[in-house]
Amino acid sequence: MRRITFISGLFDNIRDGVFSPKSGIEKEIETTLKFNPHYRELLTCYADSEDNAAIMQANNLSVHKIITDAPDSIIRDSRYKMKHWMMYQAVKEFGDVVWIDWDTYNKRLVDHRFVDYCLATNTPKFTFIKGGYWAVVNCAVYYANRSHLQLFEKSFSSKVSEPNDELMWASVLPKDIVGRKEYWFGDMVVNIWDRIDFKDVTDNTYFLHLKDFGLL
């Protein structure tokens, strides 16, 4: 029986080879765990350094792997590309994987319905943001499996306007993806940028992607 591995990670904020401190990430992880204490059991975590691993371990998160062998092209733009690389490595190892960002709230615990939906149609599945999201796909909560490894590999060499994992995904997906329901979580994952967005939350909603936990 196929099972899904849920992952997240912490990585350096490097853009075009320049390192910048990640503002507020430790507080965000603490807040996430306050609202989602079960993430400590649910998530398999990745880090790109001992320091980042230590931040997660200090919050009683289990660090599965510290990635030290990523290509230079990933490291010099790790702010966005390292997440993509971590997901790629996890898919190679585990098969069926869902990435979960720290700025999420798990409204409904994952169950067989969520798992079955992920496995259906054999397509990667992304968070859909209404109104024409700038990168088309959103990767706050998304699913991929080993049959998508070639898409990952192709995306690493894609020419995109900026080094962003969402743009990299969009570059290798169907051009008509917005109208293809099989690529989206739909109301299973709802983006919440303002209180008015709660109107899209249903009994079928598992995760909220939050602009701010103060919205809860």
Report the pLDDT value the prediction gives residue 115, as an integer from 0 to 100. 97
In this structure, of 104-113, 119-128, 152-161, the range with the lowest mean pLDDT score is 152-161
Distances (CA, A) of 60 to 13, 37, 44, 68: 22, 10, 12, 22
List all residues 6 or more positions away from 38 whose beta carbon is below 8 Å from its beta carbon.
106, 109
Q: For residue 148, report the phi and psi dihedrals to the nearest 5 degrees.
A: -105, 5
Report the pLDDT value the prediction gives residue 214, as an integer from 0 to 100. 95
pLDDT at 23 over 80: no
Residue 192: closest CA among 142, 144, 141: 141
pLDDT at 1 over 70: no
Confidence at 82, pLDDT banded by 50, 70, 90: very high
Distance, CA of 174 to chain centre: 20
pTM of the model: 0.96
Mean pLDDT of the chain: 95
Over residues 171-181, the mean pLDDT reads 96
Confidence at 135, pLDDT banded by 50, 70, 90: very high
pLDDT at 209 over 80: yes
CATH entry 3.90.550.10 includes domain 5-215 = yes
